[in-house]
Structure 1
Protein backbone atom coordinates (compact mmCIF):
# COMPACT_ATOMS: atom_id res chain seq x y z
CA UNK A 1 0.00 0.00 0.00
CA UNK A 2 1.23 3.51 -0.80
CA UNK A 3 2.91 5.33 2.08
CA UNK A 4 0.97 8.36 3.24
CA UNK A 5 -2.31 7.22 1.72
CA UNK A 6 -5.53 8.21 3.38
CA UNK A 7 -6.69 5.28 5.53
CA UNK A 8 -10.33 4.22 5.75
CA UNK A 9 -12.27 1.28 7.16
CA UNK A 10 -15.38 -0.20 5.54
CA UNK A 11 -18.42 -1.40 7.47
CA UNK A 12 -20.82 -3.30 5.20
CA UNK A 13 -22.28 -6.77 5.61
CA UNK A 14 -21.80 -7.75 1.95
CA UNK A 15 -18.30 -9.00 1.14
CA UNK A 16 -18.75 -8.51 -2.60
CA UNK A 17 -19.83 -4.91 -2.05
CA UNK A 18 -16.83 -4.25 0.20
CA UNK A 19 -14.51 -5.69 -2.44
CA UNK A 20 -15.92 -3.28 -5.01
CA UNK A 21 -15.46 -0.30 -2.72
CA UNK A 22 -11.94 -1.40 -1.90
CA UNK A 23 -10.94 -1.48 -5.56
CA UNK A 24 -12.55 1.90 -6.21
CA UNK A 25 -10.86 3.61 -3.27
CA UNK A 26 -7.44 2.04 -3.74
CA UNK A 27 -7.38 3.29 -7.35
CA UNK A 28 -7.60 6.76 -5.80
CA UNK A 29 -4.67 6.19 -3.40
CA UNK A 30 -7.06 5.63 -0.48
CA UNK A 31 -5.97 2.71 1.65
CA UNK A 32 -8.66 0.38 2.99
CA UNK A 33 -7.07 -0.46 6.32
CA UNK A 34 -9.86 -2.69 7.65
CA UNK A 35 -13.21 -4.24 6.76
CA UNK A 36 -16.07 -5.18 9.07
CA UNK A 37 -19.29 -7.07 8.37
CA UNK A 38 -21.21 -5.87 11.44
CA UNK A 39 -21.34 -3.09 13.99
CA UNK A 40 -20.02 -5.08 16.94
CA UNK A 41 -16.78 -6.12 15.23
CA UNK A 42 -16.14 -2.54 14.12
CA UNK A 43 -16.81 -1.23 17.61
CA UNK A 44 -14.49 -3.81 19.18
CA UNK A 45 -11.68 -2.97 16.75
CA UNK A 46 -11.97 0.74 17.51
CA UNK A 47 -11.53 0.43 21.26
CA UNK A 48 -9.93 3.42 23.03
CA UNK A 49 -6.60 1.60 23.29
CA UNK A 50 -6.49 0.34 19.69
CA UNK A 51 -3.48 1.65 17.83
CA UNK A 52 -3.47 3.45 14.50
CA UNK A 53 -7.21 4.01 13.92
CA UNK A 54 -8.35 4.83 10.37
CA UNK A 55 -8.87 8.41 9.26
CA UNK A 56 -12.44 7.65 8.26
CA UNK A 57 -15.07 4.95 8.68
CA UNK A 58 -17.31 4.37 5.64
CA UNK A 59 -20.47 3.02 7.23
CA UNK A 60 -23.57 1.30 5.90
CA UNK A 61 -26.71 1.60 8.04
CA UNK A 62 -28.33 -1.77 7.34
CA UNK A 63 -26.25 -4.25 9.31
CA UNK A 64 -27.00 -7.52 11.10
CA UNK A 65 -27.51 -6.98 14.82
CA UNK A 66 -26.83 -3.41 15.90
CA UNK A 67 -27.62 -0.81 13.26
CA UNK A 68 -25.09 1.48 11.67
CA UNK A 69 -26.86 4.41 13.28
CA UNK A 70 -26.29 2.99 16.75
CA UNK A 71 -22.65 2.26 15.92
CA UNK A 72 -22.25 5.85 14.79
CA UNK A 73 -23.51 7.20 18.09
CA UNK A 74 -21.42 4.77 20.16
CA UNK A 75 -18.25 5.63 18.24
CA UNK A 76 -18.85 9.33 18.79
CA UNK A 77 -18.66 8.63 22.50
CA UNK A 78 -15.71 6.22 22.26
CA UNK A 79 -13.49 7.49 19.43
CA UNK A 80 -14.81 10.93 18.40
CA UNK A 81 -11.62 11.63 16.45
CA UNK A 82 -12.58 8.96 13.90
CA UNK A 83 -14.85 10.59 11.32
CA UNK A 84 -17.76 8.54 9.98
CA UNK A 85 -19.14 8.84 6.46
CA UNK A 86 -22.53 7.16 6.07
CA UNK A 87 -22.79 5.30 2.75
CA UNK A 88 -26.14 3.59 2.36
CA UNK A 89 -29.01 2.73 0.06
CA UNK A 90 -31.42 4.76 2.21
CA UNK A 91 -32.29 8.30 1.11
CA UNK A 92 -34.92 9.38 3.64
CA UNK A 93 -34.25 13.00 4.63
CA UNK A 94 -35.29 12.44 8.27
CA UNK A 95 -32.79 9.57 8.39
CA UNK A 96 -30.05 11.79 6.95
CA UNK A 97 -30.80 14.44 9.57
CA UNK A 98 -30.77 11.82 12.34
CA UNK A 99 -27.35 10.59 11.19
CA UNK A 100 -25.95 14.11 11.08
CA UNK A 101 -27.33 14.79 14.55
CA UNK A 102 -25.66 11.60 15.77
CA UNK A 103 -22.29 12.84 14.52
CA UNK A 104 -21.90 11.67 10.92
CA UNK A 105 -19.32 13.63 8.96
CA UNK A 106 -21.38 13.24 5.79
CA UNK A 107 -24.01 11.15 4.01
CA UNK A 108 -23.78 9.55 0.56
CA UNK A 109 -26.32 7.23 -1.04
CA UNK A 110 -25.29 4.09 -2.89
CA UNK A 111 -27.13 5.30 -5.98
CA UNK A 112 -24.48 8.01 -6.35
CA UNK A 113 -21.77 7.94 -9.00
CA UNK A 114 -18.50 6.33 -7.81
CA UNK A 115 -16.64 9.65 -7.90
CA UNK A 116 -19.17 11.11 -5.44
CA UNK A 117 -18.03 8.59 -2.83
CA UNK A 118 -14.34 9.26 -3.53
CA UNK A 119 -14.84 13.02 -3.27
CA UNK A 120 -16.92 12.61 -0.11
CA UNK A 121 -14.14 10.62 1.58
CA UNK A 122 -11.63 13.40 0.93
CA UNK A 123 -14.04 16.14 1.98
CA UNK A 124 -15.08 14.37 5.18
CA UNK A 125 -11.46 13.95 6.26
CA UNK A 126 -10.89 17.66 5.60
CA UNK A 127 -13.68 18.48 8.02
CA UNK A 128 -16.33 19.34 5.46
CA UNK A 129 -19.83 17.86 5.41
CA UNK A 130 -20.33 16.05 2.09
CA UNK A 131 -23.87 15.15 1.05
CA UNK A 132 -24.69 13.31 -2.16
CA UNK A 133 -26.62 15.41 -4.69
CA UNK A 134 -29.82 13.36 -4.32
CA UNK A 135 -30.27 14.40 -0.67
CA UNK A 136 -28.29 17.64 -0.32
CA UNK A 137 -30.95 20.10 -1.44
CA UNK A 138 -33.71 18.52 0.64
CA UNK A 139 -31.51 18.37 3.75
CA UNK A 140 -30.47 21.99 3.39
CA UNK A 141 -34.10 22.99 2.88
CA UNK A 142 -35.17 21.13 6.01
CA UNK A 143 -32.42 22.78 8.04
CA UNK A 144 -33.19 26.23 6.62
CA UNK A 145 -36.83 25.93 7.64
CA UNK A 146 -35.85 24.75 11.11
CA UNK A 147 -38.02 21.64 10.87
CA UNK A 148 -35.67 19.81 13.21
CA UNK A 149 -38.34 20.48 15.87
CA UNK A 150 -40.46 17.70 14.36
CA UNK A 151 -41.10 15.08 17.09
CA UNK A 152 -39.32 12.21 15.31
CA UNK A 153 -36.13 14.29 15.05
CA UNK A 154 -36.03 14.60 18.82
CA UNK A 155 -35.91 10.84 19.29
CA UNK A 156 -32.74 9.24 20.60
CA UNK A 157 -30.75 7.04 18.24
CA UNK A 158 -32.13 3.89 19.85
CA UNK A 159 -35.69 5.22 19.70
CA UNK A 160 -35.24 6.10 16.03
CA UNK A 161 -33.99 2.57 15.32
CA UNK A 162 -37.10 1.19 17.05
CA UNK A 163 -39.29 3.58 15.05
CA UNK A 164 -37.77 2.45 11.74
CA UNK A 165 -38.33 -1.18 12.65
CA UNK A 166 -41.94 -0.53 13.64
CA UNK A 167 -42.57 1.28 10.37
CA UNK A 168 -41.22 -1.76 8.53
CA UNK A 169 -43.85 -3.84 10.32
CA UNK A 170 -41.47 -5.73 12.61
CA UNK A 171 -42.97 -7.24 15.75
CA UNK A 172 -41.62 -6.66 19.25
CA UNK A 173 -40.08 -10.14 19.17
CA UNK A 174 -38.39 -9.49 15.81
CA UNK A 175 -37.00 -6.17 16.99
CA UNK A 176 -35.80 -7.84 20.18
CA UNK A 177 -33.78 -10.39 18.20
CA UNK A 178 -32.50 -7.82 15.71
CA UNK A 179 -31.25 -5.32 18.29
CA UNK A 180 -30.28 -7.81 21.02
CA UNK A 181 -32.75 -6.32 23.50
CA UNK A 182 -35.29 -7.99 25.73
CA UNK A 183 -38.92 -7.90 24.54
CA UNK A 184 -39.81 -5.87 27.64
CA UNK A 185 -37.18 -3.25 26.76
CA UNK A 186 -38.45 -3.05 23.19
CA UNK A 187 -42.02 -2.65 24.45
CA UNK A 188 -40.91 0.18 26.72
CA UNK A 189 -39.15 1.89 23.81
CA UNK A 190 -42.24 1.42 21.65
CA UNK A 191 -44.34 3.17 24.29
CA UNK A 192 -41.83 6.03 24.55
CA UNK A 193 -41.75 6.48 20.79
CA UNK A 194 -45.53 6.60 20.50
CA UNK A 195 -45.77 9.08 23.35
CA UNK A 196 -43.15 11.38 21.82
CA UNK A 197 -44.83 11.25 18.42
CA UNK A 198 -48.31 11.74 19.87
CA UNK A 199 -49.75 8.50 18.47
CA UNK A 200 -51.42 5.60 20.24
CA UNK A 201 -51.89 2.86 17.65
CA UNK A 202 -49.87 1.17 14.91
CA UNK A 203 -52.16 2.70 12.30
CA UNK A 204 -51.56 6.20 13.65
CA UNK A 205 -47.82 5.52 13.71
CA UNK A 206 -47.84 4.49 10.07
CA UNK A 207 -49.87 7.57 9.16
CA UNK A 208 -47.34 9.75 10.97
CA UNK A 209 -44.49 8.02 9.14
CA UNK A 210 -46.09 8.61 5.76
CA UNK A 211 -46.91 12.22 6.57
CA UNK A 212 -43.30 12.96 7.52
CA UNK A 213 -41.61 11.02 4.72
CA UNK A 214 -40.32 8.25 6.96
CA UNK A 215 -41.59 5.32 4.91
CA UNK A 216 -39.35 5.99 1.89
CA UNK A 217 -35.82 4.58 2.33
CA UNK A 218 -36.43 3.13 5.79
Structure 2
Protein backbone atom coordinates (compact mmCIF):
# COMPACT_ATOMS: atom_id res chain seq x y z
CA UNK A 1 0.00 0.00 0.00
CA UNK A 2 1.33 3.49 -0.83
CA UNK A 3 1.99 5.98 1.97
CA UNK A 4 -0.89 8.47 2.09
CA UNK A 5 -0.13 12.15 2.69
CA UNK A 6 -2.21 15.20 3.60
CA UNK A 7 -0.75 18.53 2.39
CA UNK A 8 -1.61 21.64 4.41
CA UNK A 9 -0.63 25.02 2.95
CA UNK A 10 -2.72 28.10 2.24
CA UNK A 11 -1.31 28.63 -1.27
CA UNK A 12 -2.77 26.34 -3.97
CA UNK A 13 0.20 26.83 -6.28
CA UNK A 14 2.59 25.83 -3.50
CA UNK A 15 0.53 22.71 -2.73
CA UNK A 16 0.57 21.76 -6.39
CA UNK A 17 4.35 22.02 -6.47
CA UNK A 18 4.69 19.85 -3.37
CA UNK A 19 2.23 17.31 -4.77
CA UNK A 20 4.26 16.96 -7.96
CA UNK A 21 7.49 16.57 -5.98
CA UNK A 22 6.04 13.99 -3.60
CA UNK A 23 4.18 11.89 -6.15
CA UNK A 24 7.30 11.49 -8.26
CA UNK A 25 8.59 9.31 -5.42
CA UNK A 26 7.59 5.63 -5.52
CA UNK A 27 5.16 4.66 -2.81
CA UNK A 28 3.99 8.20 -1.90
CA UNK A 29 0.55 9.58 -2.77
CA UNK A 30 -1.21 12.79 -1.74
CA UNK A 31 -4.75 11.82 -0.77
CA UNK A 32 -5.99 15.22 0.42
CA UNK A 33 -5.12 18.91 0.67
CA UNK A 34 -6.13 21.65 3.10
CA UNK A 35 -5.64 25.41 3.19
CA UNK A 36 -6.28 26.17 6.85
CA UNK A 37 -6.26 24.60 10.30
CA UNK A 38 -9.97 23.73 10.34
CA UNK A 39 -9.93 21.99 6.97
CA UNK A 40 -6.68 20.20 7.91
CA UNK A 41 -8.44 18.70 10.92
CA UNK A 42 -11.50 17.67 8.90
CA UNK A 43 -9.41 16.21 6.08
CA UNK A 44 -7.35 14.25 8.57
CA UNK A 45 -10.48 12.75 10.11
CA UNK A 46 -11.87 11.94 6.67
CA UNK A 47 -8.75 10.34 5.19
CA UNK A 48 -6.60 9.20 8.16
CA UNK A 49 -3.36 9.78 6.19
CA UNK A 50 -0.07 8.17 7.15
CA UNK A 51 1.63 11.58 7.21
CA UNK A 52 0.72 15.27 7.32
CA UNK A 53 3.03 17.85 5.74
CA UNK A 54 1.99 21.17 7.19
CA UNK A 55 2.96 24.84 7.03
CA UNK A 56 2.63 26.88 10.23
CA UNK A 57 1.61 30.14 8.56
CA UNK A 58 -1.99 29.48 7.58
CA UNK A 59 -5.01 31.68 7.04
CA UNK A 60 -6.87 32.04 10.33
CA UNK A 61 -5.65 29.83 13.20
CA UNK A 62 -2.01 28.85 12.89
CA UNK A 63 -0.53 25.51 11.98
CA UNK A 64 0.26 25.04 15.68
CA UNK A 65 -3.49 24.87 16.28
CA UNK A 66 -3.86 22.34 13.46
CA UNK A 67 -1.17 20.15 15.03
CA UNK A 68 -2.84 20.37 18.42
CA UNK A 69 -6.30 19.41 17.12
CA UNK A 70 -5.03 16.57 14.94
CA UNK A 71 -2.98 15.10 17.78
CA UNK A 72 -5.99 15.37 20.11
CA UNK A 73 -7.95 13.28 17.59
CA UNK A 74 -5.09 10.87 16.90
CA UNK A 75 -2.23 10.76 19.38
CA UNK A 76 -0.15 8.72 16.92
CA UNK A 77 -0.49 11.19 14.03
CA UNK A 78 2.77 11.88 12.18
CA UNK A 79 3.10 15.55 11.27
CA UNK A 80 6.05 17.06 9.43
CA UNK A 81 6.24 20.86 9.60
CA UNK A 82 7.46 22.56 6.42
CA UNK A 83 7.61 26.28 7.11
CA UNK A 84 9.39 29.57 6.52
CA UNK A 85 9.48 30.11 10.29
CA UNK A 86 12.89 29.00 11.57
CA UNK A 87 13.21 30.54 15.03
CA UNK A 88 13.98 28.15 17.87
CA UNK A 89 10.96 29.37 19.84
CA UNK A 90 8.41 28.41 17.19
CA UNK A 91 10.28 25.16 16.44
CA UNK A 92 10.18 24.15 20.11
CA UNK A 93 6.51 25.06 20.26
CA UNK A 94 5.76 22.91 17.21
CA UNK A 95 7.55 19.89 18.68
CA UNK A 96 5.92 20.41 22.09
CA UNK A 97 2.50 20.47 20.42
CA UNK A 98 3.15 17.20 18.60
CA UNK A 99 5.16 17.78 15.42
CA UNK A 100 7.21 14.78 14.30
CA UNK A 101 9.80 16.74 12.33
CA UNK A 102 10.60 20.23 11.09
CA UNK A 103 12.05 21.34 7.74
CA UNK A 104 12.42 24.94 6.60
CA UNK A 105 11.14 26.01 3.20
CA UNK A 106 14.63 27.30 2.45
CA UNK A 107 15.83 23.69 2.30
CA UNK A 108 16.47 21.86 -0.98
CA UNK A 109 13.57 19.64 -2.14
CA UNK A 110 15.63 16.52 -1.42
CA UNK A 111 15.80 17.49 2.26
CA UNK A 112 12.01 17.49 2.50
CA UNK A 113 11.85 14.01 0.96
CA UNK A 114 14.58 12.77 3.30
CA UNK A 115 12.58 14.11 6.26
CA UNK A 116 9.42 12.40 5.00
CA UNK A 117 11.22 9.05 4.98
CA UNK A 118 12.68 9.72 8.44
CA UNK A 119 9.29 10.54 9.98
CA UNK A 120 7.81 7.38 8.48
CA UNK A 121 10.61 5.43 10.18
CA UNK A 122 9.62 6.96 13.52
CA UNK A 123 12.47 9.50 13.67
CA UNK A 124 12.27 13.24 14.46
CA UNK A 125 14.17 14.93 11.61
CA UNK A 126 15.15 18.58 11.31
CA UNK A 127 16.69 20.40 8.37
CA UNK A 128 20.22 21.68 8.91
CA UNK A 129 19.20 25.29 9.52
CA UNK A 130 16.56 24.24 12.07
CA UNK A 131 19.09 22.05 13.89
CA UNK A 132 21.50 25.00 14.05
CA UNK A 133 18.79 27.26 15.46
CA UNK A 134 18.00 24.74 18.19
CA UNK A 135 21.69 24.30 18.98
CA UNK A 136 22.18 28.05 19.33
CA UNK A 137 19.15 28.22 21.60
CA UNK A 138 20.45 25.44 23.84
CA UNK A 139 23.85 27.12 24.12
CA UNK A 140 22.04 30.29 25.19
CA UNK A 141 20.24 28.44 27.97
CA UNK A 142 17.03 27.33 26.29
CA UNK A 143 14.93 30.29 27.45
CA UNK A 144 13.83 33.03 25.07
CA UNK A 145 12.22 36.38 25.62
CA UNK A 146 9.61 35.20 23.09
CA UNK A 147 8.40 32.29 25.21
CA UNK A 148 5.54 34.39 26.63
CA UNK A 149 4.02 35.08 23.21
CA UNK A 150 1.15 33.06 21.76
CA UNK A 151 1.56 31.19 18.43
CA UNK A 152 -0.41 33.90 16.63
CA UNK A 153 1.70 36.66 18.22
CA UNK A 154 4.86 34.81 17.17
CA UNK A 155 3.58 34.65 13.59
CA UNK A 156 2.75 38.35 13.54
CA UNK A 157 6.10 39.27 15.06
CA UNK A 158 7.99 37.06 12.61
CA UNK A 159 6.26 38.53 9.56
CA UNK A 160 6.60 42.09 10.86
CA UNK A 161 10.28 41.69 11.73
CA UNK A 162 10.79 40.17 8.28
CA UNK A 163 9.70 43.42 6.67
CA UNK A 164 5.95 43.07 6.08
CA UNK A 165 3.65 46.01 6.75
CA UNK A 166 0.74 45.61 9.16
CA UNK A 167 -1.66 45.54 6.20
CA UNK A 168 0.40 42.84 4.47
CA UNK A 169 0.43 40.79 7.68
CA UNK A 170 -3.34 41.20 7.96
CA UNK A 171 -3.80 40.04 4.37
CA UNK A 172 -1.44 37.08 4.78
CA UNK A 173 -3.11 35.84 7.95
CA UNK A 174 -6.69 36.78 6.98
CA UNK A 175 -7.00 39.13 9.94
CA UNK A 176 -8.32 42.66 10.19
CA UNK A 177 -5.81 45.50 10.27
CA UNK A 178 -7.14 46.43 13.70
CA UNK A 179 -6.46 42.91 15.01
CA UNK A 180 -2.87 43.05 13.76
CA UNK A 181 -2.32 46.46 15.37
CA UNK A 182 -3.83 45.21 18.64
CA UNK A 183 -1.57 42.16 18.59
CA UNK A 184 1.48 44.30 17.88
CA UNK A 185 0.61 46.48 20.87
CA UNK A 186 0.40 43.39 23.09
CA UNK A 187 3.69 42.08 21.68
CA UNK A 188 5.47 45.37 22.36
CA UNK A 189 4.14 45.45 25.92
CA UNK A 190 5.05 41.81 26.57
CA UNK A 191 8.58 42.21 25.21
CA UNK A 192 9.15 45.70 26.60
CA UNK A 193 9.92 47.01 23.11
CA UNK A 194 10.18 50.80 23.06
CA UNK A 195 10.13 51.26 19.27
CA UNK A 196 9.57 49.25 16.09
CA UNK A 197 13.35 49.06 15.64
CA UNK A 198 13.69 47.62 19.14
CA UNK A 199 11.01 45.05 18.32
CA UNK A 200 12.90 43.95 15.20
CA UNK A 201 16.16 43.60 17.11
CA UNK A 202 14.48 41.53 19.81
CA UNK A 203 13.21 39.18 17.10
CA UNK A 204 16.69 38.96 15.55
CA UNK A 205 18.32 38.35 18.93
CA UNK A 206 15.86 35.56 19.70
CA UNK A 207 16.50 33.90 16.34
CA UNK A 208 12.97 34.40 15.01
CA UNK A 209 14.38 36.12 11.92
CA UNK A 210 17.94 36.56 10.70
CA UNK A 211 19.52 39.99 10.37
CA UNK A 212 19.71 39.62 6.58
CA UNK A 213 15.91 39.28 6.39
CA UNK A 214 15.13 42.18 8.71
CA UNK A 215 14.33 45.53 7.10
CA UNK A 216 15.96 48.84 8.06
CA UNK A 217 13.60 50.37 10.63
CA UNK A 218 13.53 53.92 11.89
CA UNK A 219 14.07 54.20 15.62
CA UNK A 220 11.46 56.90 15.90
Task: Please say which of residues 31-40 and 188-197 is displaced more in the overlay.
Answer: 188-197
Alignment: residue pair count: 210
CA shift, 1:57, in A, is: 0.8
Aligned to 1:214: 208
Aligned to 1:32: 30
Structure 1 stretches of 5 or more lacking a match?
A: none
Aligned to 2:102: 107
CA shift, 1:85, in A, is: 0.7
Alpha carbons 2:9, 2:36 under 8 Å: kept:
yes
Aligned to 1:5: 2
Q: TM-score, normalised by structure 1?
A: 0.76
CA shift, 1:139, in A, is: 1.7
The answer as to 2:131 corresponding to 1:133 is no
Alpha carbons 1:151, 1:196 under 8 Å: kept:
no
SS at match of 2:142: helix
How has the CA–CA distance of structure 1 residues 131 and 65 changed in structure 2, closer, same or farther, with 3 Å as cutoff?
A: same
Aligned to 1:204: 198
Alpha carbons 1:12, 1:38 under 8 Å: kept:
yes
| CA distance in 2: counterparts of 1:39 and 1:51, whole angstroms | 14
CA shift, 1:176, in A, is: 5.4
CA shift, 1:52, in A, is: 4.0
How has the CA–CA distance of structure 1 residues 182 and 76 changed in structure 2, closer, same or farther, with 3 Å as cutoff?
A: farther
The answer as to 2:48 corresponding to 1:53 is yes
Alpha carbons 2:31, 2:47 under 8 Å: kept:
no
Pairwise mapping of residues 27-176 of structure 1 onto structure 2 (< 5 A)? Answer: 27-46=25-44, 50-143=45-138, 145=139, 147-167=141-161, 168-171=163-166
CA shift, 1:29, in A, is: 0.6
| CA distance in 2: counterparts of 1:37 and 1:55, whole angstroms | 19
CA shift, 1:140, in A, is: 3.0
Residues 123-160 of structure 1 deviation map (CA, whole Å, 9 limit, x = unaligned): 223332101123323323423x2633112034221221
Structure 2 stretches of 5 or more lacking a match?
A: 215-220
